[in-house]
């Protein structure tokens, strides 16, 4: 068994390009706020503390939102769902998509054809249309959003993983494992997967960005997370009426989401390039 | 050209061989027919695959909207309705029939242009979405007309100068731009141009039946949002295609022949970057289909995307199914047209396809 790829990871990360470093800093800042901000909120995020749409000042550094809740507290508490729901959806997509992709590549034949054709059917759906149809059937909410985003991401993951696994599946160490009589599960998890880890890492950045855009977009439309939850995307839509006189309720969460997605994309691209891997079919520049 | 291999195949099914192998002549005849009209057979196969795909899409849409809990009867009566009332409304809507029968009659109606009637608007879905389709076409067409030329120029510059400072600037900005959420961009544009500068309307309301051309200013911000978010996406694909072409042997050959870099790019590389451009246009059209849901909703622009979102919020199942199917058809159609165009542009692909 070879684990070259796994060993190559840390060395590759040290060669991160500048844009990747910028991305890493952005991700660290926004993730920090999202994960730990909720522990230091000055007020409970759902508590009404004053008049609606107050400007900054008087114990409320960012003012209050459309119901009179403390904006700073809601900003600090509202990142976890943005970061978390999309992370869960992305992980679920990799769990299912990578299994389908590796099985298709390793078993081949009819399994491969069937798996990939069903992926084609899913890809024939405009992603957002799929989310909307699902929300109409399953009802709006975070669970529908996570399942929908995961299903949307599965075909893309399966294709990328299949392409990478097809190269690995014909190597001699895989043939040796098959000759030893190892189970399919063993071959996939111990022989093939460790050697396509770098592909997963390179593919993960843009995939996670996509999940954030989809979940946040759905929440913004009122079909994801429901009030009174504190969530950046939800805050943008609920405080929009105050854009003229209390713009911070919209601008601060909008800026944070933007910095997060840009950061994840820059970091992901930087990692992919430092590993010498292309991003979604693009050629690598040397 | 493309039927070079066929005569040999036909010859192998010569008389005197066992009848089983005689089938080869039959197959060869079909192959020859294919070879004579390779493009036609490609189009037929591609359309056939598209129809099968749309069949699955229709099943998926119907299954998700009708079988999951919370059906149309719930949507009309609300959550606290009595079981008896629910049963009565279900019967009235025909929901007590088996799902397969309902699916077939829905599909039959859809194929005959009967899109059903909206549960909330009390009118046929077709009248509900007719004007919206035109509004969306105007908005998406405007966005595409701005997007295409800008993206092609920037993508080709970036790809032809890969690794140089120009490319570096374009790629980094587009890498950041591709991550911009459309609702954030839309909100920021509203804040800058509608709230702060008061130059453009914050919402793109149109009175029913009014053409967006009667108030062109309502189109600016929605179209700008689509352009900003879509541009980065298109540039990156075009850049990758251009790098691909620039690395190919015939470009190196042209350079070795001492042809100026300018001519290499304009005369040799560009023509072969045409196919990716067609595909990018198709991808962008498909991307726009996704973008209109949020952008139209943010600006309250009465298009098909906003109609879909409103139908979902109101659980207007017939409207959801019809709009969903129409968008699915458009999506698949764009793919087929792009594939056929690419095969037309690159003769080499005809035999491989």
Q: State percent of chain B over pLDDT 90.
A: 23
Could you tell me if residue A282 is inside a domain?
no
With CB atoms and an 8 Å threshold, state whether A247 touches B195.
yes
**Chain B hits for A140, Cβ within 8 Å:** 313
User: Long-range contacts made by residues A39-43, C-beta under 8 angstroms, separation at least 24?
Assistant: A40/A76, A41/A70, A41/A72, A41/A73, A41/A76, A41/A77, A42/A70, A42/A72, A42/A73, A43/A69, A43/A70, A43/A73
DSSP structural state of residue B264 = I
Q: What is the pLDDT of residue B18?
A: 41
Residue range B252-311, pLDDT digits in tens? 888 888 888 888 877 777 767 677 778 778 888 888 888 899 999 999 999 999 999 999
Note the pLDDT tens digit of each residue in B110-161. 998 888 888 777 788 888 888 899 999 999 999 999 998 998 889 888 888 8
B155 chain-A contacts, CB cut-off 8 A: none
Q: What is the DSSP letter of B81?
A: -
Q: How many CA atoms lie within 13 A of B164 on its CB side?
A: 10
Q: Quick one: pLDDT at residue B208?
A: 73
pLDDT value of position B7: 34
User: Pick from A206, A212, A84: which is nearest to A157 by CA?
Assistant: A206
- DSSP code of residue B214: G
- Which of B48, B62, B47, B71 is CA-nearest to residue B109? B62
- Pull the structure tokens for residue B28: 């060869």
> B94-103 long-range CB contacts below 8 Å, 24 or more apart?
B95/B66, B95/B71, B99/B62, B99/B63, B99/B66, B99/B67, B102/B62, B102/B66, B103/B59, B103/B62, B103/B66
Q: Give CA–CA dist A117/A111, Å, rounded.
A: 10
Task: Give the nearest partner residue to B61 out of A133, A244, A258, using CB atoms.
Answer: A133
- CATH number of the domain within which A202 lies: 1.10.3720.10
Q: Which domain holds residue A178?
A: 4-53+60-274
Determine the Cα–Cα distance for residues A103 and A107; give it in Å rounded to an integer.
Answer: 6
Interface probe for A, chosen from B170, B179, B285 (most Cβ of A below 10 Å), is B179
Runs of H (alpha helix) within chain B:
6-12, 19-36, 38-66, 72-77, 83-93, 99-111, 125-160, 165-177, 182-189, 217-246, 249-256, 261-263, 270-272, 274-298, 304-313, 317-345, 348-352
Chain-chain contact of B181 with A261 (C-beta, under 8 angstroms): yes
- Note whether residue A203 is domain-resident: yes
Can you give the pLDDT at residue A33? 96
Phi and psi dihedrals of A60, rounded to 5?
Answer: -120, 90
Whole-complex ipTM = 0.86
Instruction: Give residue B349's pLDDT.
Output: 62
Q: How many domains does chain A have?
A: 1
CB-based contact B66 A137, cutoff 8 Å? yes
pLDDT at B353 > cutoff 80: no
Percent of chain B with pLDDT over 70: 83
A167 inside domain = yes
Q: Quick one: pLDDT at residue A211?
A: 95
Cβ atoms of A215 and A145 closer than 8 Å: yes
Q: How large is the average pLDDT for residues B219-246? A: 87
More confident call, B71 vs B180: B180
When pLDDT is cut at 50, 70 and 90, the band that residue B86 belongs to is confident
Q: How confident is the model at residue B203 (pLDDT cuts 50, 70, 90)?
A: confident
Residues in chain A closer than 8 A to B332 (CB atoms): 124
**Distance between CA atoms of B69 and A147, rounded to whole angstroms?**
16
Residue A34 lies in a domain: yes
Whether residue B224 is predicted with pLDDT greater than 70 in this model: the reply is: yes
HSE-up (13 A, CA, CB side) for residue A46: 4
Selecting from B60, B66, B181 the residue whose C-beta is nearest the C-beta of A217 gives: B181
Any domain includes A284 = no
Contacts A–B by Cβ distance under 8 A:
149
The reply to whether residue B312 touches residue A136, judged by beta carbons under 8 angstroms, is yes
Dist CA A23 CA A273 (whole Å): 13
Question: Would residue A283 count as lying in a domain?
Answer: no
Asked whether the beta carbons of residue B53 and residue A125 sit closer than 8 angstroms, the reply is no
The stretch B190-210 carries a mean pLDDT of: 86
Per-residue pLDDT of chain A (286 residues; tens, 9 = 90+): 445 556 666 665 667 888 889 999 999 999 999 999 999 999 999 899 989 999 898 889 999 999 999 999 999 999 999 999 999 999 999 999 999 999 999 998 899 999 988 898 888 788 889 999 998 888 889 999 999 999 999 999 999 999 999 989 888 999 999 999 999 999 999 999 998 988 888 888 889 999 999 999 999 999 999 999 999 999 999 999 899 889 999 999 999 999 999 999 999 888 888 877 654 333 333 2
CB–CB of A283 and B240 under 8 A? Answer: yes
Contact B240 A127 (CB under 8 A): no
Confidence band (pLDDT; 50, 70, 90) for B232? confident
d(CA B310, CA B328) in angstroms, rounded, equals: 18
CA distance, residue B281 to nearest chain A CA (Å): 16
Is A140 a domain residue?
yes
Residue A279 lies inside a defined structural domain of this protein? no
């Amino acid at each position: 068994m070879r684990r070259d790829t796994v060993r190559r990871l840390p060395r590759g990360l040290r060669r991160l390009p500048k844009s990747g470093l910028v991305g890493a800093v952005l991700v660290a800042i926004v993730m920090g706020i999202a994960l730990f901000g909720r522990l230091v909120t000055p007020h409970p995020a759902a508590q009404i503390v004053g008049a609606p749409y107050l400007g900054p000042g008087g114990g409320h550094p960012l003012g209050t939102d459309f119901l009179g809740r403390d904006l700073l507290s809601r900003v600090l508490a509202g990142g976890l769902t943005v970061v978390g729901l999309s992370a869960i959806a992305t992980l679920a997509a990799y769990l299912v998509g990578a299994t389908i992709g590796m099985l298709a590549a390793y078993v081949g034949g009819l399994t491969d054809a069937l798996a990939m054709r069903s992926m084609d059917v899913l890809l024939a759906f405009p992603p957002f249309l799929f989310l909307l149809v699902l929300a109409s059937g399953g009802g709006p909410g975070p669970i529908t959003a996570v399942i929908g985003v995961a299903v949307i991401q599965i075909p893309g993951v399966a294709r990328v993983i299949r392409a990478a696994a097809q190269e690995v599946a014909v190597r001699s160490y895989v043939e040796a494992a098959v000759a030893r009589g190892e189970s399919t599960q063993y071959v996939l998890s111990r022989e093939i997967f460790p050697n396509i880890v770098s592909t997963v890492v390179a593919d993960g950045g843009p995939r996670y960005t996509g999940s954030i855009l989809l979940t946040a977009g759905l929440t913004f439309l009122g079909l994801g997370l429901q009030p009174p939850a504190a969530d950046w995307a939800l805050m943008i839509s609920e405080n929009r009426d105050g854009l003229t006189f209390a713009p911070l309720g919209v601008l601060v969460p909008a800026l944070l989401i933007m910095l997060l997605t840009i950061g994840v994309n820059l970091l992901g691209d930087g990692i992919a390039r430092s590993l010498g891997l292309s991003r979604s079919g693009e050629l690598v520049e040397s | 050209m493309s039927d070079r291999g066929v005569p040999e195949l036909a010859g192998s099914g010569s008389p005197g061989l066992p009848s089983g192998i005689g089938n080869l002549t039959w197959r060869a005849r079909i192959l020859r027919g294919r070879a004579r009209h390779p493009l036609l057979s490609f189009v037929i196969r591609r359309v056939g695959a598209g129809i099968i795909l749309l069949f699955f899409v229709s099943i998926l849409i119907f299954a998700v909207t009708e079988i999951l809990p919370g059906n149309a009867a719930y949507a009309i009566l609300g959550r606290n309705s009595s079981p008896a009332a629910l049963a009565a409304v279900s019967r009235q809507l025909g929901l007590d029939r088996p799902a397969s029968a309902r699916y077939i009659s829905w599909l039959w109606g859809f194929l005959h242009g009967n899109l059903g009637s909206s549960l909330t608007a009390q009118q046929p879905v077709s009248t509900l979405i007719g004007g919206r389709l035109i509004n969306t076409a105007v908005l998406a067409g405007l966005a595409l007309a701005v997007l295409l030329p800008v993206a092609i120029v920037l993508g080709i510059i970036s790809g032809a100068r890969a690794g140089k400072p120009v490319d570096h600037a374009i790629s980094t900005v587009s890498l950041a731009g591709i991550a911009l959420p459309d609702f954030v961009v839309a909100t920021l544009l509203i804040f800058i141009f509608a709230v702060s500068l008061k130059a453009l309307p914050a919402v793109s309301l149109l009175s029913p039946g009014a053409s967006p051309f009667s108030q062109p200013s309502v189109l600016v911000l929605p179209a700008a949002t689509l352009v900003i978010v879509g541009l980065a996406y298109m540039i990156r694909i075009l850049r990758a295609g251009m790098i691909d072409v620039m690395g190919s042997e015939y470009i190196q050959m042209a350079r070795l022949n001492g042809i100026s870099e300018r001519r290499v790019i304009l005369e040799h590389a560009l023509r072969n970057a045409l196919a990716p451009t067609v595909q990018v246009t198709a991808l962008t059209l498909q991307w726009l289909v996704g973008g209109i849901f949020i952008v139209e909703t943010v600006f309250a622009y009465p298009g098909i995307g906003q109609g879909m979102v409103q139908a979902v919020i109101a659980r207007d199942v017939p409207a959801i199914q019809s709009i969903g199917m129409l968008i699915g058809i458009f999506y698949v159609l764009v793919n087929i047209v792009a594939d056929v165009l690419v095969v037309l542009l690159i003769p080499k692909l005809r035999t491989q396809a």
